[in-house]
Amino acid sequence: MTETLIQNPEKLQARLKEIPLEAGVYFMRDRHDGVIYIGKSKALRNRVRSYFRSSQDLSPRIAMMVQLVHEIEFIVTDSESEALALESNLIKQYQPYYNVLLKDDKKYPYVCITWSEDYPRVFITRKRRMGGTKDKYYGPYVDVFNLRRTLGIIKRAFPLRQRPIPMFKDRPCLNYDMGLCPGVCQEKISPEEYRKTMLRVAMIFQGRSSELVDIFNEKMEVAAEALEFEKATDLRDRIQVLKNLGTDQKVALPDDTVSRDAIALAYNEQHTCIQLFQIRAGRLVGRLAFVADSQSDTPNAILQKTLEAHYQNCDPVEIPNEVHTQLELPEVEILQAWLSDRKGRKVAIATPQRQLKAELIEMVERNAQYELARIQKQSDRNLQGLEDLAEILNLDSLPHRIEGYDISHIQGSDAVASQVVFIDGVPAKQHYRHYKIRNPDIKSGHSDDFASLAEVIARRFRKEALSLSPNEGEGSKIDFPDVVMIDGGKGQLSAVMKIIDKLGLRDRLTVISLAKKREEIFLPEQSEPVISGDPERPGVQVLRRLRDEAHRFAITFHRQKRSQRMQRSHLDQINGLGHHRQKILLEKFHSVDYIRQATVEQIAETNGIGKKLAQHIYNHFHPSTEIGESDGI
pLDDT tens for 221-246 read 888 888 888 878 877 877 777 766 65
What is the C-alpha to C-alpha distance for residues 448 and 437, in angstroms, rounded to an integer?
Answer: 10
Name, in order, each residue with C-beta under 8 angstroms of 631's C-beta and a sequence gap of 6 or more.
none
- The ranges assigned to domains in the chain are 5-100, 110-244, 260-374, 401-470+477-561, 573-630
Residue type, 76: V
Q: What angle do CA 53, 59, 64 make, to 5 degrees?
A: 75
d(CA 232, CA 72): 63
Write down the pLDDT at residue 476. Answer: 41
> Could you tell me which residue, 490 or 249, shows the higher pLDDT?
490
In this predicted structure, the answer to whether residue 58 has a pLDDT above a threshold of 80 is no
24-38, 211-225, 498-512, range with the lowest pLDDT: 211-225
DSSP-derived 3-state class of residue 625: helix
pLDDT at 554: 92
**pLDDT range class, residue 480, cuts 50, 70, 90:** confident
Question: pLDDT tens digit string along 299-332?
Answer: 998 999 899 888 887 888 889 999 999 999 988 9
132 vs 446: which has the higher pLDDT: 446
Dihedral angle over CA of 546, 549, 553, 555, nearest 10: 110
CB 415 within 8 A of CB 437: yes
**Which range, of 57-61, 129-133, 238-242, 546-550, averages the lowest pLDDT?**
129-133
Q: Which of 416, 524, 431, 408 is nearest to 481 (CA)?
A: 431
Q: Which CATH superfamily hosts domain 573-630?
A: 5' to 3' exonuclease, C-terminal subdomain (1.10.150.20)
Cα distances (angstroms) measured from residue 181 to each of 162, 175, 590: 6, 5, 21
C-alpha to C-alpha distance for 478 and 257, rounded to whole angstroms: 54
Q: What is the pLDDT at residue 533?
A: 59
pLDDT digits (tens, 9 = 90+) for 60-112: 778 888 889 999 999 999 888 888 888 878 887 788 888 766 655 556 788 88
Cβ–Cβ under 8 Å, residues 620 and 585: no
Please state whether the peptide bond connecting residue 623 to the residue before it is cis, i.e. omega within 30 degrees of 0: no
Lowest-confidence region among 550-554, 568-572, 599-603: 568-572
Using DSSP, state whether 64 is helix, strand or coil: helix
Handedness of CA 204, 208, 209, 213 (dihedral sign): negative
Of residues 159 and 570, more confidently modeled: 159
Q: Are strands 413-423 and 433-436 parallel, antiparallel or unpaired?
A: antiparallel
Residues 497-520 as b or e (16 or more Cβ within 10 Å = b): bebbeebebeeebbbbbbbeeebb
Specify the pLDDT at position 76.
93
- Model confidence at 419: pLDDT above 90: yes
Identify the residue with better confidence: 18 or 81: 18
By CB atoms closer than 10 A (0-12, 13-18, 19+), residue 128 is middle
Cα(85)–Cα(339) distance, integer angstroms: 10
Rounded to two decimals, what is the model's pTM? Answer: 0.63
Helix, strand or coil for residue 348? strand
Confidence of residue 629 (pLDDT cuts 50, 70, 90): very low
Summarised one tens digit per residue, pLDDT across range 359-418 is: 889 999 999 999 899 888 888 888 899 999 999 998 888 999 999 999 998 888 888 999
Is the separation of the CB atoms in 368 and 264 below 8 Å? yes
Q: What is residue 630's predicted lDDT score, i.e. its pLDDT?
A: 38
Q: What percent of the chain has pLDDT over 70?
A: 90
Domain 5-100: give its CATH architecture: 3-Layer(aba) Sandwich (3.40)
- Residue 631: pLDDT band by 50, 70, 90 thresholds? very low
pLDDT at position 216: 81
**From the DSSP assignment, how many helices (H) and strands (E) are in the chain?**
20, 19
CB 455 within 8 A of CB 434: no
Rg (CA), the chain: 30
Segment 442-453 mean pLDDT: 86
Q: To the nearest whole number, what is the mean pLDDT of the chain?
A: 83
- From start to end of 195-337, where are the E strands? 260-267, 271-280, 283-293, 322-325
Instruction: Write the class of the CATH domain 260-374.
Output: alpha beta
Label residue 467 by pLDDT band (50, 70, 90): low
Model confidence pLDDT, tens digit, residues 588-609 = 887 777 888 888 888 888 888 8
Integer angstrom CA distances of residue 241 from 19, 110, 154, 206, 555 = 58, 22, 8, 17, 42
Residue 435 has a pLDDT of 92
Which of 454, 476, 453 minimizes the C-alpha distance to 465?
A: 476
User: Which residues contact residue 175 at a Cβ distance below 8 angstroms, ignoring those fewer than 6 apart?
Assistant: 162, 163, 181
Give pLDDT, residue 176. 84
Q: Which of 302, 295, 292, 287 is nearest to 272 (CA)?
A: 292
Element (H, E) at 306: helix 299-312
The CATH T-level fold of domain 401-470+477-561 is: Nucleotidyltransferase; domain 5 (3.30.420)
Which of the four pLDDT bands, split at 50, 70 and 90, describes residue 267? very high
pLDDT band at 628; cut points 50, 70, 90: very low
Residue 180 has pLDDT above 60, yes or no: yes
Q: Which of 152, 170, 147 is nearest to 162 (CA)?
A: 152
Given this model, what pLDDT does residue 445 score?
A: 81
> CA-CA distances (angstroms) from residue 140 to 143, 569, 596?
9, 43, 42
Query: What mean pLDDT comes out for the span 161-186?
Result: 82
552, β-bridge pairs: none
| pLDDT grade for 275, boundaries at 50, 70 and 90 | very high
What DSSP designation does 531 have? B
DSSP conformation letters of 389-452: HHHHHT-SS--SEEEEEEEEEETTEEEEEEEEEEETTEE-GGG-EEEE---TT-BTTB--HHHH
- Cα–Cα distance for residue pair 279/262, rounded to 1 Å: 8
| pLDDT tens digits, 352-363 | 988 888 888 999
552 Cβ partners below 8 Å, 6+ apart?
none
* pLDDT on residue 477: 44
Average pLDDT over residues 28-34: 89
Q: Kindly indicate the confidence band of residue 349, based on its pLDDT and cuts at 50, 70 and 90.
A: very high
5-100 and 260-374 share one fold: no
Q: Is the pLDDT of residue 45 over 50?
A: yes
Mean pLDDT in residue range 207-221: 80
pLDDT at 323: 95
pLDDT of residue 470: 44
pLDDT number for residue 627: 40
